[in-house]
Amino acid sequence: MTSTAGAIYSWQCNQNMLSLAQFYSTILDLQNREARKHPEPYKLSDDKDAWQIFADQADNTFQAMLGPLSGFYIFTTGASQSYKENVDRAQLHTGFLSAIFSDFSLQEDAKKDLDKVLTNFAQAVGGFKMDTEAQTKTMNYTLKINTVPTMTIGGTAEHPLTVNVPTTTIVYMKIKATAWKSAMDACSVGGGAEHFEFDMTYTKTNCQLNMDWYQKAIPKFNGVCHGKEPCGIRRRPVPAR
């Protein structure tokens, strides 16, 4: 039988891996800027830089999980899906969350927490100027969601044998530029248009952490973080922009 303590430990292992993924993502960001001969960090306050920041964040997250950390996960990638709806400002979050998290068993409290995350994010970035004249341009973004579902591996109906399956789901989103701007305006203080079209495509990749591999690699992870181990990076294809 699984336990609450076991689930908490599994969730923390997921968090540790995401921290390591962020470490690799930062290295990839430096490599990308070096290749573009752009040594200075991009600035969110710069109209052109803002698009590049979000695109790099989306791609680098994907690259880190499916590149240097790929040996620690079992991956399942779903088909690309689309979400295009004429939405009311007040219902944007409900529709968005329903589309993205339709296959998650979320309690109402969890949905409210996610809604707060979306609102806080929109208010944080909504003030930055972003050119939306290029109608074909998309805002690329990734969400990373940690869950610890249980899996039955034996036993009986009365006494099932279950294990925790620490899983990180990467949601890679490509949101049409005009839809992004409308959504940010709608979520910001003061609001925006009452009705607008929200148009995006998204792909979900489930990454199941192999706990045996993770625990055996902890010394190496510590070495990488302290600069005592190499951190080789190989690039993998990401969803087309």
Residue 206 forms beta bridges with which residues?
A: 76, 169
Phi and psi at residue 50, to the nearest 5°: -60, -45
Residues sharing a CB contact under 8 Å with residue 96, sequence separation 6 or more, in sequence order = 83, 118, 198
How many beta carbons lie within 10 A of that of residue 202, not counting itself? 20
Q: Which residue has the higher pLDDT, 129 or 170?
A: 170
Q: What is the pTM of this model?
A: 0.77
Closest CA to 100 of 200, 211, 5, 31: 200
The tokens for 12 are 């923390």
Question: Half-sphere exposure of residue 101, counting CA atoms within 13 Å on the CB side?
Answer: 21
- Model confidence at 97: pLDDT above 60: yes
Residue 176 forms beta bridges with which residues?
A: 138
Q: How far apart are CA 20 and CA 217, in angstroms?
A: 12
pLDDT value, residue 208: 93
How many beta carbons lie within 10 A of that of residue 71, not counting itself? 9
Task: Report pLDDT digits (tens) over 110-128.
Answer: 667 666 666 666 665 555 5
Rounded to whole angstroms, the maximal C-alpha distance in the chain is: 63
